[in-house]
Each structure stands twice: as structure tokens, then as C-alpha cells.
Chain A
Amino acid sequence: MTDTSKILSLFRSELVVVNVGPKSFADVLEKQGYKSLQVDWKPAAGGDKRMQELLDYLGGY
């Protein structure tokens, strides 16, 4: 059985969303009255998958 304490704590807390992706998804949450924080995501190393793996290995983002 799952330890549900963290999930139940989410259900009882004010929802604060970090949005990684199109900003409009954050905008519609704000418009519904929920707090959101926008992450301007772009693929690290310009989308180069091999470079990405290397950066991951090095502990970068």
C-alpha cells in the first residue's frame, strides 16, 4: 500500500503549480485563480541528444 501522506497533503494545500512548457497552460491556471510559476523550458544544448546525455552525466541541466 502506498504511503499517501504526501498526496493527501497536496489535496489539503493551496495548489501552486510550476509549469514547464507552453506559458498558456500557466495562464489558464492563473485565470482560474491558482498560483503558477513559469519555467521557460528549452532543450539544453540546443536539442542535441548526445550533448544532453553528456550534460546529464556531468550533473548539469
Chain B
Amino acid sequence: MSVFFVIQKDRYIDSLETLSETAMLNDQPGIGTGYVGMATEVFKEVTKEIGLSAPEILAAADSDYVIVAEAESEEAFNNAVEKLRTESAPVDDEEKPVSFRTSVQAKEHEPRANLCQISVPGEYALEEAKKALNAGMHICVFSNNVPLSDEREMKELAREKGLLCMGPDCGVANINGAALVLSSINNRGPFGIVGASGTGIQHVAAILPEAGSGVSQTIGTGGNDLKEAVGGITMLMGIDALEADPETKYIILISRKPADSVLKKLLARISGMKKPRVVFFMGCDREAIEATGSVWAENLDDCALRALELIHSDYSLGSIDELKETAKEAVKGMAPEQKYLRGAYTGGTYLDEAMRTMWDAAGGIWSNAPLSKEWKIEGDSREHTCIDYGEEEYTLGRPHPAIDASIRKPAILKEASDPTVAVIVLDVILTPPGHPDPCGYMVPDIIKAQKMAAERGGKIVFIASVLGTTADWQDIRKQEQELRDAGVIVCRTNYRAALLASEIVKLRRDAQ
């Protein structure tokens, strides 16, 4: 295979479009690895890392668009480029939608516009939020790194106007059935969710349809809403709105532990709620929650199950005994030196949940986002290690790994090349702007890794969980099956994947 490329001067497409074009390019016949993007410094570094660089690409400007790939022949490359051009080009110039200079202009053009989705660099978020709120629109702010004082200001303005301010740093919200930003596509149903954790909301909302239920609205507050400086403004407004919404029959609240002063306010509000509700505030006192007349949940899985009990569903995620049996089978054929676990995560909440679950079995876990600072590592994994590929060191100048699957790609073969590794745990998060086939994308590396271990006389166990729904375009059932076909043990949830990994680690320790 040889490397071919085309450079188009001054053609701009955004980073999400380049990702879908990259995925399409990699699917074309005769193409090995390919990459599409604007010739930024990050793009140049990435293409250099994966062996797709050329002097012309290095010399290209930020405003130039590049398609580069390793291909069997120039003809195969040209055919792939042609395919990209025809599939990505607007169907008809007349159908090309109008675009606007500001949200105010857009609202003037379409007075029915009722929600503004804002994804601009954090320093500009307040200004855009104010424009949209002043124009009478509710807002969903995906921007992160927004100063807390800016967040407070936009939320106070929203409250004054009676408008909803979801975020900043709101990755998950589902309004009137629409999956905003990075949400999964959810079934509609009687549960309203307000949450300060995007993954948390998505996790619970994705389990409900398994029991035939779904969500009325999910409101993402952003991770900082329950901090002292912000005061839980969106959480409190969300509760009020869902209490008043006739379509919402039950309410679910999800957050990490709120600041003490905010918790006090919230508990007072929750005590006065009329609708049945489940509350999962990580690390909060059970008695305090139950004293408000709410159902207390221990973790995200429990939160979904407790919610389903409200509609008399006996849906189960399976028992711990089943996992113990699976673990016994899984360790058969491992080499004596195989004893460590490695986790490669795309979701920070999932990494956190998994490390807490596996900590005791492992006796400590190294990480770039560790549970306690003495377990922090930079660079290569050692012993038991879990890496968060959503941390800045991997995502600077690139989208989140839930969108750009290539960020975590090197992890599988890197971890599998260590002969002491027994088990590799992966999370997969489905989202409309994400990779069209994230599990299929990992399969060739998983198979290669299993072969490497077999050649050393051992066996690597892969465990994965997929977060998403059958309504997601990637279809959770199809994604899970692709992994199972490659010999991966697929668990229903991230927590169960971590429990299974813990059982394997215990068995390997006992075998030493």
C-alpha cells in the first residue's frame, strides 16, 4: 500500500463533518487507513503519528482541506475521493439551507425558534447565551471551560426570563424527543430526568426502554450546576418544570454529591415534590434522601431499576452469580503471568464508576484520572491501569472520544502487547454525531490482540459495555453482536463489566 493525498485550498468543513468523512473513507474498497481534516497543527501531528504524512501536507495552511489515505492503488484512492465528494456534497444548490450570522438573526427569520444550542469556545459562551436568552429562546450550552461566574450570570438571566438554561458543559439533553448534542436517541415515556452528569442521564434513559418505558424530557444541568458558585439554579428550575409537566409522571434526579449549601436547598425542594421520584446523588447520605419521601438509589444501574419499580416492572440486569460463572469460564487458557486488568474508557463518569467497583479486587488502580493522587500515572500503563481517553492530554484540539473513535484506537494493541495483562475493559457510548460503527471499528484490533496473546501461549479476555438504544442509528443490539462475534464478553452495563473484571482479577490472583 502507498500513501496518496489531495489538498483543497480554502475549503472549510467542521471537525464533526471531517470525522464522518474519515469513517466513510476508511470503508472504501482498497483503502487501508485514511484521514480527512483541515490541515491544522493537530491534524498534521495525527497524520504523522499514523504514518500518513507528506511534506505537502505539512506545508498546507490551516484553511486547507486534506484527504489522505494508505491505498492499494492510485485508482482505489481516486475512487474513494470521488465517493466522498458525491456523498458529502449538497444535493442541490437550491436546497442549500440559509445560514445566519447570529442567533438573533436566525430568530428574526424563524420566530418559532424556541431553543438555541450553543457550542462555541468557553470564553464566548456567555455572550452567545445572553443573545439567545434576550431573543426569548431556551438554551442548551455544550461549551465547556466556561467560568463559574459566567455560568451563574447566564443562569440568573435565564431564571429571570423563565427560560431553561441547560449547561454549560451539557452534553446530554432530550427535549420533545430530540436528542440534543451527544444524547442517545430515547424512547418517549413517563420519566422526566434532571441530571448534572450527561453519562448518568444517558445511562438511566437507555435502560428504561429495555423494560418498554422511556423519557418525557431529560434536562442536563451541566456538571457545575450544583456547586456553591452556581447554586443549583437549573436543577431547581428543572424540578419545577417536570413537576408541572402533565406528560411527566415520575422524576429522576442524578448528580455527583452537591455542595452542602446546594444540597440543603435541594432537599428542601425535593421534600415538597408531589410526583414519585428516584434520587441518585453520588455519595449522599441515604437517610437524608429517604427523609424527603424519595426513593434512594445506590448507583446508576440501581437508579434505573428503582425507577422501573415505580411502574411495577421487574426488569433485571442479571445476578452477580452469573458474572462469577462467566469469570470462571473466561480465565481458562490464560498463561501463568496474566493477572492484570487494563481499562480504556471514553466516558469519565464510567471510568470513575469502574475504578470504584474494581478497586478492592485490584488493590489499587493506576490512572491518568485516578481516585487518589498517589495513583496518578503519565505515559505507559503498569499493573492494574485504567485510562480516561476523554482527558485533555488525548483530546486537546480534537473532539471527545465518544465522537472520534480513533482517539482510543491505539489502546487495544498497546495494552494487549503486555504479557501480564489478563483482561481489557472497554466502554462504548453511542451518539448521533458519533462514529457510525464504533464497535466494528475496534474489532480488527481486538482480533489482532487475541492472536498476539494466543501466540504467547495465553488468552486475553475483552469485556465491554455499550451505552445506547435500539433507536440510535448505530443500534445497540447490532453493536453488541459485532463485539460478541469477535469473542468479546458484552455486559449490559458499565458497572456489571467492572464487576466481571473484578471477578477475573480475583481468580487470577488466587491462581498465582
Contacts and interface: CB of A to CB of B under 8 A. Distances in A.
Contacts of A57: none
B429 to A, nearest CB: 15
Tell me if B's interface is mostly helix, strand, loop or mixed.
mixed
> Interface size bucket, A side?
35 or more
Nearest to A5: B162
A32 B241 CA distance: 25
Contacts, number: 161
B123 A16 contact: no
Interface residues of B, number: 62
Contact of B119 (A21, A32, A49): A21
Given A2-B237, A31-B432, A16 B113 contact: yes
Given A10-B115, A22-B15, A39-B99, A29 B131 contact: no
B181 A61 contact: no
Question: Which one of A6, A10, A11, A32 has the highest number of Cβ atoms from chain B below 10 Å of its Cβ?
Answer: A11
B403 to A, nearest CB: 9
A39 B118 CA distance: 10
Interface in A3-30: 3-11, 13-26, 28-29
A54 interface: no
B114 A38 contact: no
Interface in A36-61: 37-41, 43, 49, 52, 56, 61
A36 to B, nearest CB: 8
B120 A17 contact: no
B120 A18 contact: no
A61 B102 CA distance: 8
A10 B175 contact: yes
Contact of B241 (A8, A29, A52): A8
Contacts of A29: 178, 180
Given A5-B162, A7-B138, A61-B131, A13 B20 contact: no
Contacts of A23: 14, 16-17, 99
B336 to A, nearest CB: 49
A17 B237 contact: no
Contacts of A43: 120-121, 124
A41 B359 CA distance: 45
The list of the 8 closest CB pairs from A to B, nearest first, reads A21-B119, A24-B16, A28-B432, A2-B240, A7-B241, A37-B106, A22-B14, A38-B99
7 contacts: A2-B236, A2-B237, A4-B240, A10-B138, A18-B103, A18-B107, A28-B433
